[in-house]
A and B are shown apart, each in its own frame.
With several copies, the nearest count.
Chain A
Amino acid sequence: MEAKKIRNIFTAGPVEAAFIADSIAKHSTKTSIGGHSIFLGQVRADLMDGKQVEAIEYTSHVDMALEVMATIREDIFTRYALTCMHVHHSLGVVKAGEICLFVFTSSKHRKVAIDACSECVERIKAELPVWGKEIFEGEGYQWKINQ
């Protein structure tokens, strides 16, 4: 059995729009692609008991997360005819309104790209050892709970 290739998915702070644009532009040479599906997670300024979320600070069990992501990746590539898939998740502080997750799938056909992207997002939320600490404006925090 070939060892899974471990790729970094973590980025310090928010994922910038310019980075996303660059990532999209790089695919213009791959002319077998017919559709791209992108999911972006954005930090919400939720109100909890009168306190507003100002930022989320992300931490991870990084080694393990990268191994889990490699497994998810391999599994998705086995089941979907993707041309490529890119995942970027923030670590550290991401302010409300900023992007904390960028999942990008491309395929010859749109439905494959869309379904693979959606499944990848769900699995990232459920399976990656990553934690979000919701930091309130002023002071205080609470630990994020995924739905």
Chain B
Amino acid sequence: MIEVMFFGQLTDATGVSSVMVEEVGNTDMLIQMMKQRYPALESSTYMIAINNAMVTENSIVTPGSKVAFMPPFSGG
């Protein structure tokens, strides 16, 4: 299983803060899957982190990973 987490304004698009998915090969595949499930993600801006590390290119998602979908940060 893979835990997919959504943060900030993305939770408005998905209506959930986290969801478990079965095996998925890589981040591109996961993004496609999430866009199908939550169409409002299509028009959202986000970055991806796997197990707390930012990834900027398509990356392998190993079982047991936590994948975060994160909109631009606005702390402080």
Contacts and interface: CB of A to CB of B under 8 A. Distances in A.
Q: Interface residue tally of chain A, by bracket? A: 20 to 34
Contacts of B52: 61, 63-64, 67-68
Contacts, number: 67
Interface string A89-109: 100000000001100000000
A130 interface: yes
A146 B68 contact: no
B5 interface: yes
B24 to A, nearest CB: 20
B62 interface: no
A82 interface: no
A139 to B, nearest CB: 15
Interface residues of B, number: 14
Interface string B55-76: 0000000000000101111111
A58 to B, nearest CB: 7
B25 interface: no
8 contacts: A63-B52, A110-B76, A124-B75, A128-B75, A129-B68, A131-B7, A146-B72, A146-B74
Interface of B: 5, 7-9, 49, 52, 68, 70-76
Interface of A: 41, 58-61, 63-64, 67-68, 89, 100-101, 110, 121, 124-133, 143-146
